[in-house]
Structure 1
Amino acid sequence: MLQHIVQLGFKKDLTETDHAFIAQQCDLLKQAIPGLLDMRFVANESNRTPEFSHAFVATFSELQAHDLYQAAPEHDALRQFVAEHKTRLVVLDFTV
């Protein structure tokens, strides 16, 4: 299995509409990508890194599923949203 974690900071607080869009995109990706076992968008509850307010946490069955996810057109809308709204982004991928 592969864990894919994307920590983010945003230019401004996310709205309810933003959260609904992100949740919808996560659900779409889980349905569209074979091997994407779970994908969540979570708030950072730690005050130690306030520049990173949220994270995507995804679990893939294998590296090839992650590669498929990265290339999938279904990923484009979420990628574009993040690119337009982020101030910071860091990615951590590791095998379990």
Structure 2
Amino acid sequence: MYLHVVMLQLSAAADARFHARVQDYCDRILAECEGVAGYAFRSNQASRADGLTHAVVAAFADGPAHDRYQVSAAHQEMKAYMADYIERLVVFDGDIPRFS
């Protein structure tokens, strides 16, 4: 399994309309991108978040599935839409063991 985590510090301009549209992109990615095992945009509940308010957490069948997602229309549109609302981001990409 391949994990993709994007931790985000969103600006105050990220209102309910923004969150609804990002959720629509998440739904599109799940429907359109082959090899996506899970995909979610959530608020960060960690007390040690260092200002990182939200995250995109995605699991893929493998690295090639992640690579296909990166260039997909849904992902490219989501990134372009979110760009003006992001003050800071941190990314983790990597293989992880399957948990049973």
TM tier, shorter chain?
over 0.9
CA drift at 1:74:
1.6
Amino acid at match of 1:78: M
Q: How many percent identity over aligned positions?
A: 30
Is 1:63 equivalent to 2:59 in the alignment? Answer: no
Deviations 1:11-46 (A, max 9, x none): 215322111111110010111110011100111112
Looking at structure 2, the residues matched to 53 and 81 of structure 1 have their Cα atoms a distance apart, in angstroms, of 18
Looking at structure 2, the residues matched to 86 and 94 of structure 1 have their Cα atoms a distance apart, in angstroms, of 23
CA drift at 1:81:
2.0
Deviating above 6 A after TM superposition, structure 1's stretches of 4 or more consecutive aligned residues are none
CA drift at 1:82:
2.2
Amino acid at match of 2:78: L
SS of the equivalent of 2:14 reads coil
Looking at structure 2, the residues matched to 12 and 50 of structure 1 have their Cα atoms a distance apart, in angstroms, of 16
Mean Cα displacement is larger for which, 80-89 or 7-16? 7-16
- For the 8 Å contact 2:10–2:53, the answer to whether it is kept is yes
Q: CA RMSD in A?
A: 1.2
Counterpart position of 1:42:
42
CA drift at 1:73:
1.5
Mean Cα displacement is larger for which, 19-28 or 75-84? 75-84
Counterpart position of 1:4:
4
Looking at structure 2, the residues matched to 72 and 56 of structure 1 have their Cα atoms a distance apart, in angstroms, of 16
Counterpart position of 1:52:
52
Looking at structure 2, the residues matched to 61 and 3 of structure 1 have their Cα atoms a distance apart, in angstroms, of 9
Deviations 1:44-63 (A, max 9, x none): 11232242000000000010
How many residue pairs are counted as aligned between the two chains? 96
TM-score, normalised by the number of residues in structure 2 = 0.89
Runs of 5+ consecutive residues of structure 1 not aligned to the other structure:
none
